[in-house]
Copies of this chain bind each other. A is one copy, B any other.
Amino acid sequence: MPLLVQKFGGTSVATPDRIREVAEQVRLRRRSGDDLVLVVSAMGTETDEMLALARSVADRRSGREMDMLITAGERKATALVCMALIDHNVPAESLTGSQAGFITDETHENARILDIRPQRVLAALQGGRVPVVAGSQGVSTSNDVTFLGRGGSDTTAVALANVIEADACELYTDVSGVFTSDPRVVPTARRIGRLSYDEILEMTATGCPKPAMRSVEVARARGVRLHVRSAFTWEAGTWIGEEDPSMEQPLVSAVTHDISEAKITITGVPDRPGIAGALFRRLADLDVNVDMIVQNVSADGVTDISFTVPRRQLGISTQVTRDLGAEIGAGGVSEDTDIARVSLIGAGMKSNPGVAATMFEKLGERSINIEMISTSAIRISCVVRSEDVVQAVNVLHDAFGLAEAS
């Protein structure tokens, strides 16, 4: 009998109606013969509401107390889902992170799982009850309540699926899977049937709903098959697993874009070792999430460095760059907020060097100027003007045949 872990995100359990619908679907799924373990997030925007409450109560907010607060949201949702299940004649048992055996370190607000002791999960299953586990939480080695961070319910689900040897982990959300592009921008965007772990990890983009990065890394490390699907339509979604070496990989699986970044350029940087390291260390110490980095070829002993950062971190990033520039006698620092990133993602690129060339040609044909380029084995990203991004995404989606049924 297949054993599945099903994780329901905040939108899937946002209202009493949604919770009852989840209960009904679980009832039907069990009747079809599957054994289920549920992992539940806090209802709708409850976590945000609790964060706002915390901000209005205290300026300095203890991490330990934030975790005690925030984890109450998942507990509530877990209890309500269980009540609905029992009301649908499905025996069920809610379990807090601690009761489900999640032992974590003491890093409050972003705890790491150290061990899982799923005895109560297994006992519930053996007793014919559906275990409903509160997502994103555990108990620390010093017996305090801990929170795994935003998106941590995905990690709970994947880690639990691994340790109880589930056949797959279903991640329910409000879209029906991962798409070849953002359907709001590319009308012909199509749901992808299958993706590799590496591909989904490259898909950090606007309009691309996807499992939390950390949970995919756990899934890849432990070989847990993921199924991203909708708790609104219940149709089959996108499977994520190992690359299948027996099948030919699609050249390009998706075209993604991101309009949330800005570009900083520092010119006239003396070309000597250690300067780039100093700059990005300072940014990292401020938790600035630097994405693309391009350094031009050195000429006359000086070089230019451009990099992108989240727009909300632009102010501090520019300041840090200017400070360093002054120290090392660089030429100048400039900001550019009118940029967008367009990326091609596809495991098939690894064995096909022509993809990048095609991408640049297609953009060039439309007079879309490429300002930065960055590549990995399975991703090519270009920075373009933000007013060009819709056209760029559509051109590439078309050029690589993504609208056709696979």
Interface residues of A (CB under 8 A from B): 16, 19-20, 50, 53-54, 56-62, 64-69, 71-73, 75-76, 78-80, 82-84, 86-87, 92-94, 96, 99, 143, 145
Contact = CB atoms under 8 A, between A and B. Distances in A.
A73 to B, nearest CB: 8
B83 A62 contact: yes
B83 A79 contact: no
Rank and list the top 9 A-B pairs by shortest CB-CB distance, nearest first. A58-B87, A69-B79, A68-B79, A16-B56, A58-B83, A72-B72, A65-B82, A65-B79, A72-B76
Contacts of A94: 64-65, 68
A54 B79 CA distance: 9
Contact of A66 (B56, B66, B79): B79
A77 to B, nearest CB: 9
**How many copies of this protein are present in the complex?**
2
17 contacts: A16-B53, A19-B57, A20-B57, A20-B58, A50-B76, A57-B87, A58-B84, A58-B86, A61-B83, A62-B82, A62-B86, A65-B83, A65-B94, A68-B82, A69-B75, A69-B76, A96-B145
A57 B84 contact: yes
Contacts of A75: 68-69, 71-72, 75
Nearest to A89: B60
Contacts of A80: 53-54, 57-58, 65, 69
Contacts of A62: 82-83, 86
Contacts of A93: 64
A108 to B, nearest CB: 11
B58 A143 contact: no
A64 B57 CA distance: 31
Given A72-B75, A99-B143, A145-B96, A86 B57 contact: no
A135 to B, nearest CB: 14
Nearest to A87: B58
A69 to B, nearest CB: 4
Contacts of A57: 16, 19-20, 80, 83-84, 87
Contacts of A99: 143
Interface centre among A20, A54, A68, A94 (most CB of B within 10 A): A68
Contacts of A66: 79, 83
Nearest to A68: B79
Contacts of A87: 57-61
A123 to B, nearest CB: 11
Contacts of A82: 62, 65, 68
A216 B392 CA distance: 73
Nearest to A88: B58
